[in-house]
Copies of this chain bind each other. A is one copy, B any other.
Amino acid sequence: MIKITLPDGSIREYASGVTGAEIAESISPRLAKEVLSITVNSEIYDLSRSIETDAHIKLHKFDDDEGKHAFWHTSAHILAEAIESLFPGTKFGIGPAIENGFYYDIELPEGRALSENDFASINKKMLELCQQDNLITRKDITKADALKYFESKGDNYKTELISELEDGTITLYTQGNFTDLCRGPHLPSTGHIKAIQVLSLAGAYWRGDESRKQLTRVYGISFPKQKMLEEYLVMLEEAKKRDHRKIGKELELFHFSPKVGMGLALWLPQGTALRDRLESWLTGELNKRGYEMVKTPHIGNVELYKTSGHFEKYGKDSFQPIQTPAEGEAFMLKPMNCPHHVEIFKSKQYSYRDLPYRMAEFGTVYRYEQHGELHGLTRVRSFTQDDAHIFCRPDQVKEEFKKIIELIQYVFKSLGFTDYRSQISLRDPDDNSKYIGTDENWAKAEQAIQEASEEMGLKPVIETGEAAFYGPKLDFMVKDALGRMWQLGTIQVDYNLPERFNLEYKGTDNQMHQPIMLHRTIFGSMERFVAVLIEHTAGKFPLWLTPQQVVLLPISEKYNDYAKKVLDLLKNYDIRGQIDDRNEKIGRKIRDNELKRIPYLLVLGEKEAETETLSVRKQGQGDLGAMSIEEFAAVINNEIKENFNN
């Protein structure tokens, strides 16, 4: 008999060789129906795989990341099986589960190409294979036999992969008529998949190498319930409409020029106005909270990054060092602002009374991403962090965490992100050796983070063993209007840089002590945050933030002067906007400006000019009727006030 420990700590005894499926069945038949994979100690197993020794286990359903992973990984195999049956002779590359669904990279037979017209037949075939509820079986195989099998199929991509594997570690998975090289884990059978669909096609170089063959990447999605698929497709449709790249273009917020370089955003006037307003608003909040703003250059001597450790970390996969005419002098694009801020800290001497020193910068950093990884503003090569570093005493960590949490909560609320989660990453208490910093400081900091989170009303998930080697951290994820989670702000304790740069302050004991450094961002990066904000609001930004609050629409040229007068008067109320004095029909002007997500349109004609009023149209609500300028200003300013009071 072996001892199986469940996540709640309870222990059950089973015969050696018991499977995950059997364990689930022994707990509840309902659970057995829903369970998709099992973590055995730290490895994920198929449900049908035998467990031979005592183990800690966790059963995974579709709700868990691990469950989804097995589900979508099996779905990728189904996709391949369907394609092989529809297009015999297709060669297969890799087919992993991804964050949302799965894909398979394939090479169709000579002269054949996939198009959207093929989706229906593939979908039909996949569903058929699922409904057959074929068993999925795992088999160890020697390298020689594996090579022989795929050579005989003509699958040269698979044989290339196998040739790099170590003999004795190779497994195949088979369902129905399809066998794939795979590590697993997979579902017990294909019948768990009730809804499955191809989503899109893309080109993908074999092994991401532009000098190799370009394969066809087929993306798909699947669910345990048909209704989930339907909801997902609706969400996807909505997400497409809200795609920040699409809206960014429509609203002329930013632009990418291949000539300047991919992943390097050019911020157009409207986007710049939005970003500047976000930055100046946050700067005001920082000032109120005792932060001091600094400015640092975008490069630093490589010696700086050797001391900080970034030189090693950002190696050959990164932007390479910048040589200069001087022998031995080279610079790096800064991947992080911290070393520069540390050097500012070191420009003075401190006593315990001078701490905390809260140093903030909207600092633009540069990190190389593969061309294929770039995506709009969310994966870029240059981004501006709303960065801050707090240099403090160990006894100030908790208070500083509370202050930062308060700020993050305030910012999220002001921007309409009411649903967010938090996660605390602690060190692995069983393996102190891989962390730097004293046990005492770690214990203090971990306690401080947890107490601060609790006192500020957070309900963080606690992940033990997930801390970086240099300190514990607290992360924030916001949920957008489509229910998607986005990682934004983070607060990170750091014992490493103070050590590497030998930072110090004079304590009450007149001795020198090492301060603790906190890294924190709220937005994460301005680029990513603006992208999230666009997708969350579908481009309908909060009124206080939006670049143009109003557009004035004179019905004809005759009323341009009145429009100018109104715009000037509105400026006195801090209301910003512009006049659409194009020689177009009023209906066209309204439509065009609604497309630009202008919150308020003011129609100005004879009646309005005579009575010094405005005909007000509100985004999404239509005509609000006539108002005086004072009344309209009150409407705007109340809406803004409400935004901050909610």
Q: Return the chain B residue nearest A368 by Cβ.
A: B324
CB contact between A261 and one of B261, B264, B295, B331 (< 8 Å): that residue? B331
Of A7-15, A90-98, A300-308, the one contacting chain B is: A300-308
A340 CB to nearest B CB, Å: 6
Partner of A259, one of B258, B294, B326, B343: B343
With A276-B293, A295-B267 known as contacts, the answer to whether A260 contacts B382 (CB < 8 A) is no
Q: How far is the CB of A332 from chain B (nearest CB, A)?
A: 9
Of A109-117, A314-322, A393-401, A624-632, the segment with at least 4 beta carbons within 8 Å of chain B is: A314-322
- Whether B382 pairs with A298 at a CB distance below 8 angstroms is yes
Q: Would you call A278 an interface residue if the criterion is a C-beta within 8 Å of the partner chain's C-beta atoms?
A: no
A333 at the interface (CB under 8 A from B): yes
Chain B residues closer than 8 Å to A292, beta-carbon distance: 269, 272
Bitwise interface map of A from 321 to 347 toward B, beta carbon under 8 Å scored 1, else 0: 111111100010100000110011011
Minimum CB–CB distance for A296 against chain B, Å: 5
A297 interface residue (CB < 8 Å to B): yes
* With contact pairs A292-B269, A294-B269, A304-B260 given, residues A382 and B343 touching in the complex (Cβ less than 8 Å): no
A383 and chain B: residue at smallest CB distance: B297
Q: A273-B293, A293-B272, A319-B331 are in contact. Are A266 and B301 (CB under 8 A)?
A: no
Q: Which residue of B lies closest to A361 (CB)?
A: B272
The docked-state distance in angstroms from the alpha carbon of A258 to that of B343 is 10
Instruction: Determine how close the nearest CB of chain B comes to the CB of A347; give it in whole angstroms.
Output: 4
Per-residue CB contact flags for chain A residues 361-381 toward chain B (1 = under 8 Å, else 0) read 000101010110000000000
A299 at the interface (CB under 8 A from B): yes
**A257 to chain B: which residues have CB within 8 Å?**
343-344, 346-347
For A343, the chain B residues whose CB sits under 8 A away are 255, 257, 259-260, 266
A545 interface residue (CB < 8 Å to B):
no
Tell me the nearest residue of chain B to A384, going by C-beta. Answer: B295
Q: Within 8 Å of chain B (Cβ to Cβ): is A199? A: no
Chain B residues with CB under 8 Å of A297's CB are 260-261, 264-266, 364, 382
The answer to the question of A497 belonging to the interface, with a C-beta cut-off of 8 Å to chain B, is no
Q: What is the minimal beta-carbon distance from A320 to any residue of chain B, in angstroms? A: 4
Does A268 belong to the interface (CB within 8 Å)?
yes
Report whether B344 and A296 are in contact in the complex, using a CB–CB cutoff of 8 Å: no
CA distance A326 to B347 in the complex (A): 38
| Residue of B with least CB distance to A255 | B347
A303 to chain B: closest CB distance in Å? Answer: 6
Q: Which residues of B contact A259 (CB under 8 A)?
A: 300-301, 303-304, 307, 343
**CB < 8 Å neighbour of A299 from B273, B326, B333, B344:** B333
Given contacts A320-B322, A343-B266, A368-B324, A275 and B295 within 8 Å (CB-CB): yes
Most buried by B among A261, A280, A348: A261
Taken together as a complex, chains A and B put the C-alpha atoms of A348 and B268 apart, in Å, by 11
CB < 8 Å neighbour of A294 from B210, B267, B317, B324 = B267
Q: Which B residue sits closest to A339, measured CB to CB? A: B260
Q: What separation, in Å, do the CA atoms of A271 and B316 have in the docked complex?
A: 36
Contact across chains for B265 and A382 when beta carbons are under 8 A apart: no
Contact code string A241-284 (vs B, CB < 8 Å = 1, else 0) = 00000000000100101111100111111011101100010000
| Complex contacts, A344 vs chain B, CB 8 Å | 255, 257, 266, 268
* Complex contacts, A210 vs chain B, CB 8 Å: 326-327
Could you say which residues of chain B place their CB within 8 Å of the CB of A276?
293
How far, in angstroms, from A300 to B260 measured CA to CA in the complex? 5
- Complex CA–CA separation, A319 to B299 (angstroms): 11
> Cβ of A347: which chain B residues have Cβ within 8 Å of it?
255, 257, 266, 268
Q: Which residues of B contact A333 (CB under 8 A)?
A: 298-299, 322
Give Cα A439–Cα B321 distance, bound, in whole angstroms. Answer: 45
**What is the bound-complex CA distance between A301 and B326, given in angstroms?**
23
The answer to whether B322 touches A316 (Cβ under 8 A) is no
Which chain A residues numbered 92 to 132 have a C-beta less than 8 Å away from chain B? none
Contacting residues, chain B, for A296 (C-beta < 8 A): 260, 266-267
Judge whether B299 and A366 touch: CB under 8 Å: yes
Q: Which residue of B lies closest to A318 (CB)?
A: B325
State in angstroms the CA–CA spacing of A511 and B458 once bound together. Answer: 63
CB within 8 Å for A300 and B331 given contacts A255-B344, A257-B347: no
Q: How far is the CA of A265 from the CA of B271 in the complex (A)?
A: 28
- Could you tell me if B325 and A317 are in contact, using CB atoms closer than 8 angstroms? yes
Taking CB atoms, residues of chain B closer than 8 Å to A340 are 260, 266
- Which residue from B264, B303, B348 sits with its C-beta under 8 Å from A300? B264
Would A294 and B268 count as touching, CB distance under 8 A?
A: yes
On chain B, the residues within 8 Å of A320 by CB distance are 322-324
**A342-362 Cβ-contact flags toward B at 8 Å (1 or 0):** 011011100000000001000
Chain B residues with Cβ below 8 Å from A273 are 293
Let me know if A298 and B261 touch, CB within 8 A: no
Q: How far is the CB of A452 from chain B (nearest CB, A)?
A: 26
Q: How far is the CA of A292 from the CA of B270 in the complex (A)?
A: 9
Q: Are A299 and B264 within 8 A (Cβ)?
A: yes
Contact B331 A325 (CB under 8 A): no
- Given contact pairs A295-B272, A344-B255, A382-B299, A326 touches B266 in the complex (Cβ within 8 A): no
CA distance A296 to B340 in the complex (A): 21
- Collect the chain B residues with CB atoms within 8 Å of residue A265's CB: 297
A171-B120 Cα distance, complex, nearest whole Å: 90
Q: Is the CB of B266 within 8 A of A371?
A: no
Contacts A/B (CB < 8 Å), 25 sampled: A252-B348, A255-B343, A257-B346, A257-B347, A258-B301, A259-B304, A260-B340, A260-B343, A261-B331, A264-B300, A266-B297, A268-B344, A269-B293, A272-B295, A273-B293, A276-B293, A297-B382, A298-B298, A299-B366, A319-B331, A320-B324, A321-B322, A324-B368, A326-B370, A326-B371
20 A-B pairs besides A266-B343, A266-B347, A272-B295 with CB distance below 8 A are: A210-B326, A210-B327, A255-B343, A259-B304, A260-B297, A260-B340, A266-B344, A267-B294, A267-B296, A269-B359, A272-B293, A273-B293, A276-B293, A298-B298, A298-B366, A318-B325, A321-B322, A322-B333, A324-B368, A325-B370
